[in-house]
Amino acid sequence: MDIGTKIFTWLHGRPVGSDAAGNRYFTEKRQRATGRTKRWVVYAGEPEATAVPPEWHSWLHYTTDEPLPDTGRKPWQKPHLPNATGTASSYRPQGHDYSGGTRVAASGDYEAWTPGS
């Protein structure tokens, strides 16, 4: 968090809650002329928008007036994970260059074209 956000949060912010990842959510103390209050998140670590779980995402974007309860997940719903694209923990299928670059031969594999053959 930069110094500007820190000062704005200290002067104008009212804490609303936090999530399991440690992100803290705030709203303005005073209502604006438009009738809406500004809402924002202070990330626990590196600022990453995909680290906001769906319960808080709906509140940040004014879909709900109150954040949805985190305890209401169904047994088939997985816990929220941030997007791992571009990191060491991203999905790499068998045969990916970073996973060795070899894969099991499949039926119908193509035969590479070579000039002059």
pTM of the predicted model over 0.75? no
Predicted pLDDT at 66: 86
Task: Give the mean pLDDT of the chain.
Answer: 84
Predicted pLDDT at 117: 65
- pLDDT tens digits along 7-59: 888 999 999 999 888 999 999 998 888 888 899 999 998 888 888 988 899 99
Q: Where are the domains of the chain?
A: 3-73
* 56 CB burial (10 A radius; 0-12, 13-18, 19+): buried
